Amino acid sequence: MTGRTAYINARLIDPASGTDAPGGVLIEGNKILNWGPGLFNGGAPEDARIVDCQEYCLAPGLIDMRVHLPEPGGEHKESFESASAAAAAGGVTSIVCLPDADTPIDNISVLEFIARRARETNIVKIYAYGTITRNREGGELSEFGILSEAGALAFTDGDRALADALVMRRALSYAATFDLLIVQHPEEPRLARNGQMNEGEMATRLGLAGIPACAEVMMIERDLRLVELTGARYHAAHVSTAAAIDAIRQAKSRGLPVTCDTAPHYFTLNDSSVMDYRTFTKVSPPLRDEADRLAVIEGVRDGTIDVIASDHRPQDQDSKRLPFLQAETGIVGLETLLPLTLALHHDENIPLIDLVGRMTSAPARLLGMKEGRLEAGRPADFTIFDPDRKWTVRADMLQSKSKNTPFDDHPVKGMAMCTVVGGRHVHSLID
């Protein structure tokens, strides 16, 4: 054997090159050797192992750019192993860890810890952000240069908004020095203070303090002024409101280096799902109203929303089986990212290649990753999926240690059939 594998009989979907055609991929070791429509028309190389893709889609491996991985300290909620298994099952080949309260990634040792645990686990690729400010306190800047050399792909304070305009200005200016990306949790924290869910009729009915939708856009509008001032690359995380998407759409049309992402729950659910105090629907930012949900879909359709990421945030029973006010925020999303996103193809007629791009080439481009496209010499990371396979999400069947999904019993369409990371099959239903 030469260590070559031929993936034949696939529907190739490579958003970076605009390819959606029958074809195949030849890999050697952990790299792509050749690929393309009609690649094996003359037959696959005789010395290669053959994997028949059965006409399923073969796309670059999904990159989930927003994952909370609560190690160290929160292993009972999720470990590197369980998160990796969840990713593999969901067709995700690379995850990017967010800093949070347990793990403020503000020094090299934390990045090295993540890199070591990723090597030990060795299932999917695990990357990380660095924090914008030390201990995510919103005051002093982290060492962007050193952290970036140590592997931090971009900088964010996770689910904490950088509220101080002067600190944000300096963070953007300093990041621009190294051409680094700043990722903001766009929510005006003083306006959102004590808020438990989206402000509106449901919040009033439930007697829960609301967060007005404008808390999102006002932070983005402020930041856009600072982007104009500094020229830095800026990314608004998990946008959820029509107003925020409009603001970003306009900024893009003015040529500002601005991008954003959203998570599947923001285009799948609205705030009526919170009814009966379902704490599995408690997320930050909160689920918005129906008009906002529809605006998120339009943002994905027209490209204003560059990336779809799961915002995977595992929480155990003890963090969720509480009165709504006391419950933690978060939804596990690694295993539902692909099918919930594909619903936008099935139900909303968004082209498949566009949706795949939001989870592959787009995050790779923003974060400067070598993954995310099919090309000779690139890592042999891909996801083979059946876009039409029907199944039902079962919380207790999830690979994640935590089962906090509001999509239990939710019928979906689209399944990862084989997840290939560096040439290894880390999940497979086809061979």
> What amino acid positions are annotated as catalytic residues?
311
Cα 431 from Cα 425, distance rounded (Å)? 9
CB of 158 to other proteins, least distance (A): 26
Distances in whole angstroms, Cα of residue 322 to Cα of each of 196, 202, 371? 13, 19, 40
CB of 289 to other proteins, least distance (A): 10
By CB under 8 A, the residues from 83 to 142 that bind other proteins are none
290 touches other proteins (CB under 8 A): no
Residue 88's Cβ-side half-sphere holds a number of Cα atoms within 13 Å equal to 21
Instruction: Select 40 or 324, whichever has its Cβ closest to other proteins.
Output: 324
Instruction: Select 116 or 321, whichever has its Cβ closest to other proteins.
Output: 321
Read off the tokens for 240.
């959820």
CB of 180 to other proteins, least distance (A): 39
Beta 411-421 vs 125-130: how paired, if at all?
unpaired
Residue 189's Cβ-side half-sphere holds a number of Cα atoms within 13 Å equal to 10
CB of 279 to other proteins, least distance (A): 9
Would you say the C-alpha torsion 70, 72, 73, 78 has a positive or negative sign?
Answer: positive
Listed ranges 23-31, 119-127, 323-331, 347-355: which one lies at the site for other proteins (CB under 8 A):
323-331
CB of 210 to other proteins, least distance (A): 6
Listed ranges 96-104, 133-141, 182-190, 319-327: which one lies at the site for other proteins (CB under 8 A):
319-327
101 burial level (CB within 10 Å; 0-12, 13-18, 19+): middle
Listed ranges 30-38, 120-128, 153-161, 324-332: which one lies at the site for other proteins (CB under 8 A):
324-332
Read off the tokens for 46.
């005789």
By CB under 8 A, the residues from 192 to 211 that bind other proteins are 199-201, 203-210
Cα 410 from Cα 395, distance rounded (Å)? 10
Instruction: Select 136 or 282, whichever has its Cβ closest to other proteins.
Output: 282
Listed ranges 102-110, 219-227, 317-325, 399-407: which one lies at the site for other proteins (CB under 8 A):
317-325
Read off the tokens for 147.
């952290």
Say if CB 189 and CB 222 are below 8 A apart: no
292 touches other proteins (CB under 8 A): no
- Locus of tokens 């999720």: 78
Instruction: Select 230 or 281, whichever has its Cβ closest to other proteins.
Output: 281
Read off the tokens for 24.
């195949």
73 touches other proteins (CB under 8 A): no
Closest CA to 331 of 403, 413, 411: 403
Among 141, 169, 246, 277, binds other proteins (CB under 8 A): 277
CA 317-322-323 angle, 5° bins: 155
Cα 269 from Cα 92, distance rounded (Å)? 22
CB of 319 to other proteins, least distance (A): 10
- 210: number of Cβ within 10 Å: 21
Say if CB 347 and CB 413 are below 8 A apart: no
Instruction: Select 229 or 275, whichever has its Cβ closest to other proteins.
Output: 275
Instruction: Select 17 or 317, whichever has its Cβ closest to other proteins.
Output: 317
CB of 312 to other proteins, least distance (A): 25
229 touches other proteins (CB under 8 A): no
273 touches other proteins (CB under 8 A): no
Please give the single-letter amino acid code of residue 281: T
- Locus of tokens 């490579």: 14
Instruction: Select 330 or 357, whichever has its Cβ closest to other proteins.
Output: 330
Residues that bind other proteins (CB under 8 A): 199-201, 203-210, 212, 276-277, 318, 321-326
